[in-house]
Amino acid sequence: MSRSTKEEALETRSRILDAAENVFHAHGVTRTSLADVATAANVTRGAIYWHFKNKGDLFNAMCERAHLPLEAMVLESADHPDREPLDQLRAGILFAINDIVHNPQTRRVFEVIFHKCELVDIDDPIRVRQHEGFNDCMHNIERLLILACAQGQLPATLDTHLATVSLHAMLEGLINNWLFSPQSFDLGRQSGRLLDACFAMLRCAESLRTT
């Protein structure tokens, strides 16, 4: 394939993904067909099938362009192994939130994921992908909490699994609520204080101890 042909293929793929974002956002994932995406992208259905196996594959590629919120956190925290565990976790979470607040494309994708995506079939590749991202994030949070306990940043008796459930729920809830009603609170300015309050709970809450 010549250089110009490769560039044209990449441009077409990008245009399809842009169209998918917009159509999914406007009509929801379930109600959108590949024919709808093809029309919005001004390409044929064959062009879509050249780049993507099905709608699930197209959805996955869209998510990979703008990482799922907690996947972004995982990647950011992994890039700074020299930081103390809680600092890694805090920086990663704030990185993900900042991207949602200030990057219109990222925000649009997350609005699709949280509010325009009906997950009914347990074997649907869209549901499977989201489940994998959820599990990866839970694993990374607990890994960092275990390290934080070992290094004295958190109590040695912290129930790290329960703490992970609590922190993950808080983070997803913040993102979900802000996307639903951005005027209700300033996520960009207040996320650091909210996160620090959650860390304080992990340090102090007796109900989160193993003994």
Tens of pLDDT, residue by residue over 108-166, are 888 988 888 776 566 667 777 778 878 888 988 999 999 999 999 999 999 999 999 99
**pLDDT-based confidence at residue 67 (cuts at 50, 70, 90):** low
CATH 1.10.357.10 in the chain, residue ranges: 66-208
Determine the average pLDDT of the residues in 11-38: 92
CATH 1.10.10.60 in the chain, residue ranges: 3-63
pLDDT above 90 (res 8): no
Tokens of 97: 């939130």
Give me the count of residues in the chain: 211
Q: Does domain 3-63 sit in CATH 1.10.10.60?
A: yes
Q: Is the dihedral of CA 103, 106, 109, 115 positive or negative?
A: negative
Q: Which CATH architecture has domain 66-208?
A: Orthogonal Bundle (1.10)
> Above pLDDT 90, what percent of the chain?
48
Task: Decide: helix, strand or coil at residue 209.
Answer: strand
Query: Cα–Cα distance between 10 and 19 in angstroms, integer?
Result: 14
Residues 180 and 107: beta-carbon distance below 8 Å: no
Tokens of 18: 């842009």
Query: Cα–Cα distance between 211 and 199 in angstroms, integer?
Result: 19
pLDDT above 70 (res 1): no
Task: Decide: helix, strand or coil at residue 158.
Answer: strand
Q: Considering only the C-alpha atoms of the chain, give the largest distance between any 2 of them, rounded to a whole number of Å.
A: 65
**pLDDT-based confidence at residue 192 (cuts at 50, 70, 90):** very high
Residues 89 and 170: beta-carbon distance below 8 Å: no
